[in-house]
Amino acid sequence: MPLVSMRQLLDEAAKGGYGVGAFNVNDMEQIQAIMEAARETQSPVIIQASRGARAFAQDRYLYHLMLAAAELYPEIPIAMHQDHGNSFETCKSAIELGFTSVMMDGSLKADGKTPSSFEENVEITRRVVDFAHERGVTVEGEIGVLGGVEDGHGAGGSGLDHITDPDQAVEFAERTGVDALAIAIGTSHGAYKFTKKPDGSVLKMDVLIAIHKRLPHTHLVMHGSSSVPKDLQDIVNQYGGSLKETWGVPVEEIQLGIRNGVRKINVDTDNRLAITGAIRKVLWTQPEKFDPRDYMKPAREAMQKLVAQRMREFGQAGHAGDYTQVPVADMAKGYADGSLDTRPSVVGAR
């Protein structure tokens, strides 16, 4: 089965009222963990690679690993997504490589650090949308700026510094025609999101709900949405790690988001913690071990367990076989004839 466009996965998720986890990968074991979890739970899935992942693994390795996944799991719809594209060139190269979806994060300048102006964001995102939609590829944009830094990407600071303004979100959707929109509601990338269990003062779910009401046809994306569970932190620390106490986004807040238009939920940190905890445990308790398989296998299993749990919690479990996969080339026709146009003025006139 070829890779499918992320737009189709998210449209189907909207129909079914569930969310789809987007899990980051850097290597073969992570792809294997996600695919086994998808088969175990019969879930459609988004696999995403950051610029850092593409540099770490090399594009050709990543691409062929994804093709292997599509070949070995034909019953699972898989979208391959560029996470946080920083420029038109990054998105273009991902599309040419065979990614079926790209994020153009124009909320930051090409350095991936400095917040850009609204006009700059609109212009670069619109350019990526034109190029991608012509080829049937999905585009996610971002409006507002997330907190923290991950893989060298991010403005740093608190997630509360640049909360998305709903009026700007509507204007952005109208002027760019993005399929999906990442919004800033107080979350941050990385492990250190909140210094206590987040409440309405730091996690702005009301902003998310307001944006969904005004943009019901643009799929919302939650970034920085690992839950950073205490049990995973504890395993790392129990076996020689030194993580500071921290809180992520509680799963029930994500589920509230899913009831209000969130269709894609990015999860990376939780998997990193699961992998690292499993590896630390083997090396700490069995210091005589030196075959990498002795710790990579438990690491892969720990990630699979976590991904399967999130798939059930996000509601995507059981939905892999709901629909026939539309070829990416047919998605291009839908963009060309306007039937996939999500701009509020177009949707309103339909």
Positions in the binding site for Zn ion (CB under 5 A): 223
Q: Are 13 and 20 in contact (CB under 8 A)?
A: yes
Beta bridge partners of 162: 145
Q: Are 151 and 53 in contact (CB under 8 A)?
A: yes
Smallest gap from residue 299 Cβ to Zn ion (A): 23
Nearest Cα residue to 301 out of 316, 331, 279: 279
Residue 56 or residue 323: which is nearer to Zn ion going by CB? 56
Distance CA 118, CA 163 (A): 13
Smallest gap from residue 108 Cβ to Zn ion (A): 11
Nearest Cα residue to 225 out of 274, 264, 197, 180: 264
DSSP code at position 162: B
Do strands 20-24 and 262-267 pair parallel, antiparallel, or not at all (unpaired)? parallel
Residue 112 or residue 177: which is nearer to Zn ion going by CB? 112
Nearest Cα residue to 341 out of 217, 211, 184: 217
Smallest gap from residue 189 Cβ to Zn ion (A): 6
End-to-end CA distance of the chain: 33
Residue 7 or residue 223: which is nearer to Zn ion going by CB? 223
Q: Which tokens hold the place of 103?
A: 């994020």
Smallest gap from residue 238 Cβ to Zn ion (A): 29
Smallest gap from residue 84 Cβ to Zn ion (A): 6
Axis crossing angle, helix 28-41 with helix 269-285, rounded to the nearest 10? 110
The residue type found at 153 is H
Q: Tokens 């995973």, residue?
A: 232
Residue tagged active-site, from 83, 105, 151, 268: 83
83 is catalytic: yes
Q: Are 143 and 185 in contact (CB under 8 A)?
A: no
Residue 223 or residue 300: which is nearer to Zn ion going by CB? 223
Q: Which residue is nearest to Zn ion (CB)?
A: 223
Kindly list the catalytic residues: 83
